[in-house]
Amino acid sequence: MSANLKIRLRGLRKSFGEKVVLDGVDLDVAARHSMVLLGGSGSGKSVTIKCILGLIPPDDGVVEIDGRDVTRLSRRDRAELLDRTGMLFQNGALFDSLPVWENVCFKLLAQNRITRRAARDRAAEVLAQVGLAASVGDLSPSELSGGMQKRVALARAIASKPDIIFFDEPTTGLDPIMGAVIDGLIVDCVEKLGATAFSITHDMASARRIGDHAAMIHKGRIIWAGHAEALGHTGNAMVDQFANGEREGPIQMELRR
């Protein structure tokens, strides 16, 4: 394995009943790079992330993080891996019953890795990093706008200083300017941590901003992987159609059949 490789997927397969979702996914993500996984609705992007995190057991294949096969880790080693991982969920997934500061430090508090007093300080620190005042820490998530909730969700994803962060549709539901702001914060935070980022998104502007590399999944396989700046002119008709949002092209023709 290359010493520089953070995530390595080989021959990843997953079916639900008769439905084959992942049909031999091969993908490499280099350390400190930012990979964006593209693909149509229901193409298996979230299932891929869940397999990497060990939340769904693959039927077959290899999932390596730092050269270790995560499908074979002991419960303790998997917990240790998850401790080093941050996740920003599609809907933010904040707990309304807890103030923002407890949401931000939820993982650290739940694992007794920090006192409540230190958690307040840590929350203020990461809230500042995403452009929010410390006083926001005392509010309930339901009192925040969608953009602020995304910032809080980002603060929570980085609070434990993870070395891999997963972003699931980080700008969904935001206006284009707020989306660009959140993307900028994502890039800043990932860079500051020196983390590896793995994102899934339908938003091509966002994909180009947050990804240095990109890959596209189609019919359960990675059909293209390369530099994010090539998106739209990769030479792969399916990827270019998707990236350019064109009605006509090989993907639509398949849908018509």
Ligand X SMILES: Nc1ncnc2c1ncn2[C@@H]1O[C@H](COP(=O)(O)OP(=O)(O)OP(=O)(O)O)[C@@H](O)[C@H]1O
Q: Note the residues at the interface with ligand X (CB under 6 A).
A: 16, 21, 39, 41-47
Provide the minimum distance between the beta carbon of 6 and ligand X in the complex, in angstroms, as a whole number. Answer: 21
Give 42 or 184: the residue with its C-beta nearer to ligand X: 42
Angle, CA of 29, 150 and 36, to the nearest 5°: 20
Give 43 or 149: the residue with its C-beta nearer to ligand X: 43
Give 161 or 202: the residue with its C-beta nearer to ligand X: 202
Both tokens of residue 118? 């230190």
**Phi and psi dihedrals of 105, rounded to 5?**
-100, 20
Provide the minimum distance between the beta carbon of 119 and ligand X in the complex, in angstroms, as a whole number. Answer: 32
Give CA–CA dist 12/26, Å, rounded.
7
Provide the minimum distance between the beta carbon of 41 and ligand X in the complex, in angstroms, as a whole number. Answer: 3
| CA distance from start to end of the chain | 42
Give CA–CA dist 163/37, Å, rounded.
18
Local structure of 231: helix, strand or coil: coil
Provide the minimum distance between the beta carbon of 165 and ligand X in the complex, in angstroms, as a whole number. Answer: 17
Q: Check: CB of residue 140 under 8 Å from CB of residue 94.
A: no
Provide the minimum distance between the beta carbon of 136 and ligand X in the complex, in angstroms, as a whole number. Answer: 29
Q: Check: CB of residue 26 under 8 Å from CB of residue 51.
A: no
Provide the minimum distance between the beta carbon of 44 and ligand X in the complex, in angstroms, as a whole number. Answer: 4
Give 18 or 112: the residue with its C-beta nearer to ligand X: 18
Give 27 or 136: the residue with its C-beta nearer to ligand X: 27
Give 133 or 255: the residue with its C-beta nearer to ligand X: 255
What is the distance, to the nearest Å, from the Cα of residue 126 to the centroid of all Cα atoms in its chain?
A: 19
Q: Check: CB of residue 11 under 8 Å from CB of residue 24.
A: yes
